[in-house]
Every structure is written in C-alpha cells, then in structure tokens.
Copies of this chain bind each other. A is one copy, B any other.
C-alpha cells in the first residue's frame, strides 16, 4: 500500500513500548498513521518516522481502522467507550482492533459498545515482545466479524508474520490462554525429562543441546536453555503469573466442559511450587521442585 490520496488512514491508540513497535512497522511500510498517546511526548519517535500525532482520541474517529494497545482493561474501556473515547465523537472509525491483553469479559463489554455504535471490533492479542515485533516475528490471533478481519488483515500482516482469525466472538482470548496452558505443560515436561537425563549422568547442557537439535525443539526452550543450565530463576514471568493464566485457562475449560488431565495436573504442581516458595521466581523454577523430588537438588551448585 502507498500513501496516496485514497489510501485508508490508520489510527493508533497507545504508543508504549509494544504499541510503538507495532505502529512503526505500519509506518515503515508506508501506511498513513495518526497516533495518540496519553503522554503525547511518547509519540515523537513515530512522528519522526512519518506519523501524525493527534490531541484528542476522538480525532481518530475519521480513520478507517483504529488499533488499540493499552495497559489495562480499564484503559481499554476508557479509550474506546469512555466520555472522551473513540466512540464519543461524531465520526467513528470503520473498525477497532484491540491488541491489549484483557479478559474475555472486558473484551465482550467493549465489543458490545462498539457494535452498538456501528463499529466492528476485533480482539487481537499478540504473541511476542517488542523485540520480536520489531524483527517481524510476532503472531496475532484475532476474533470478531470475519469481514472486518479480512479488511484489516493486510495491516495485521504488516505487523506480524502470522495473523489468524479464531472466530466471530472472544475466541482470540481463549486461544491466547491455550497458548499459555501449553507453555506450562511443556515446561513441566521439559523439567521432568531434563532431571531424568541428568540423574542418569548426562549434564543439563548436553541434554538440552541435543533436544534443541531435534524436531521437538522450540524457540522458547532454546531461549531459556541458558537459564535452565545456570538455574537462573530471575523472573521473565513468575510462577504466580503462570498460575493466574492457569486459573483463567482451566476456568474456561470448566465452562466449556473440556477435561484437561495434564493441564490440571500441572496446575497442582504449580500450586505446590508456590507453596514451597517458588511463587515469585520465574516459572521455569518448576525445575527446582522436580529436582528436589528426584533428590538431585543438593548435588547441584
């Protein structure tokens, strides 16, 4: 796409680290982007690359599509449905794409407000951090009206390498929870086999080097290999936060009546790890609990 006279104009609400990284990809592709941020100075780097800063959220009402990336559910409600929000002006955008991480309930409430105002709403959480986004490696899972998804898909694919439509409702929130449940289960699986290899006499580094070479390897394990070798539990994401995701994910499974034999077992192991003091450590510290049960821990540095 090019920024000619008829080009759609995009809006971007929220230019924190993650929002800025995403918006920049659109700008660098030549899109015409208007940006707003509570602290206006934070929009400067984007303006420097070609974006236009606006003073009021409602100024984005004339955009075809407005993306939102804010910190909390309350922020989302305010910038979209609040008295000064996106839906408060005379002009309203064609679609709102919310990339924030919020609960399905908040998402549904904001979606209802948008729909009432005649605006399509897509819930579109992102997998990846600002660094990954900048390199083009992020993934987006979106849910909401299919035709709206198809309209915004070209933009999503400028931002991320994969953009998937998960359904017409709040499915994208559930898909994100499924991702995090899978992460927790993979972690426990990993620490079980690592401790087994280790007790058999293979050191962690050698075992992980092998695993990282096989078809079972994942970028996530590769990225965490050094931490696991060094038993460095500086939190990237704490065990308590993982429990929170399991609370939500298993709660959804209960509502949908889906048994989760392994998911449920990992949840109890997470609880036990928290009970023994690993709650504020990185969740990869599940290794410590496993190694302790395997009588490995004292032998380790």
Binding-face segment, A16-24, A57-65, A202-210: A202-210
User: Are A261 and B252 in contact, CB atoms less than 8 angstroms apart?
Assistant: no
Within 8 A of B (CB), among A113-132: 127-128, 132
For A195, give its contact among B139, B190, B214, B258 (CB under 8 Å): B258
Given A167-B200, A181-B196, A215-B219; A264-B262 close (CB under 8 Å): no
For A202, give its contact among B171, B254, B259, B262 (CB under 8 Å): B171
Copies of this chain present in the complex amount to 4
User: Are A210 and B141 in contact, CB atoms less than 8 angstroms apart?
Assistant: yes
Binding-face segment, A33-41, A71-79, A292-300: A292-300
Closest to A218 in B: B218
How close is A251's CB to chain B, nearest CB, in angstroms? 10
Inside 8 A of A196's CB, which chain B residues have their CB?
174, 178, 181, 249, 252-253, 256, 258, 260
How close is A285's CB to chain B, nearest CB, in angstroms? 14
User: Are B259 and A262 in contact, CB atoms less than 8 angstroms apart?
Assistant: no
Main secondary structure of the interface of A (DSSP, over half): helix
Inside 8 A of A276's CB, which chain B residues have their CB?
292-293, 295
For A186, give its contact among B210, B216, B247 (CB under 8 Å): B216
Closest to A182 in B: B193
Binding-face segment, A2-10, A80-88, A158-166, A227-235: A158-166
